[in-house]
Amino acid sequence: MEEKKEWYLEYEIHQNRPGLLGDISSLLGMLSINIITINGVEDRRRGMLIRSKHDDQITRFRAILDTIENITVRKFREPRLRDRLAVMHGRYIERDADDKKTFRFVRDELGLLVDFMAELFKKDRHYLVGIRGMPRVGKTESLVAASVCANKRWSFISSTLLRQTVRNQLADDELEEGHIYIIDGIVSMMRASEKHRMLVDEIMRLPAVKVVEHPDIFVRESSYTLDDFDCMIELRNDEKEEITYEVVESGFSSFDIS
């Protein structure tokens, strides 16, 4: 039995006449293509996830779409993570124009951020995520929420969420699959002992998801580089906020209570 395949369609609306969506939905129904989700994804654009059993149904649908006035097809492909999240939340995640592995969020988009990270966390694999942001912007809370959504357990290797946490060893059950390891780059590299750093090195070698807060300080004070990271996330209170570490010294700073 042939498996059903999913596709992502995004089209721009030039004239939103009455019945336009109904016409497209009816066309999908006649071709036995199922609609999974529909949403507006940008200004005057609509995205939908669809599912079909036969590729020829999609080929015919794509050809007919090109004859429909008032719309222009912008994307028609197998869905990527950003496509799925765009349909769920009604907007695309902003990605750095020069560094395609860097994704940007503001505090008002914490729901979108949590869903994005949860998808990254679901697979048991070596995957290193860096997350930049000023104190009290919601970094650690989002990481915990995303771990819950991904049905994963999380372990703070170092943190300042409630009080400063610096671990020197892991419990046996923390080495099992399904764990997310969270490291505060400032605490681990500027506040901790050599024994703690040895634990960090051990964790970095594990085939698991690791998340490093303040990755720029982490790489500055260690042998790791930004190229070691598979994904970089930036979280700001607003789009204009600058992420800076000028206050980070060897003594106390606002980053100690982030």
pLDDT, tens only, 112-134: 999 999 999 998 899 999 999 99
Dist. CA 190–CA 217, nearest whole Å: 9
Looking at every residue in the chain, the average pLDDT score rounds to: 91
pLDDT, tens only, 2-56: 678 999 999 999 988 888 999 999 999 999 999 999 999 888 899 999 999 999 9
pLDDT at 43 (0 to 100):
81
pLDDT at 1 (0 to 100):
53
- For range 148-163, the mean pLDDT: 91
The proportion of the chain whose per-residue pLDDT surpasses 90, expressed as a percent, equals 78
Dist. CA 130–CA 132, nearest whole Å: 7
Its pTM stands at 0.85
Dist. CA 131–CA 234, nearest whole Å: 6
Closest CA to 7 of 37, 41, 30: 37
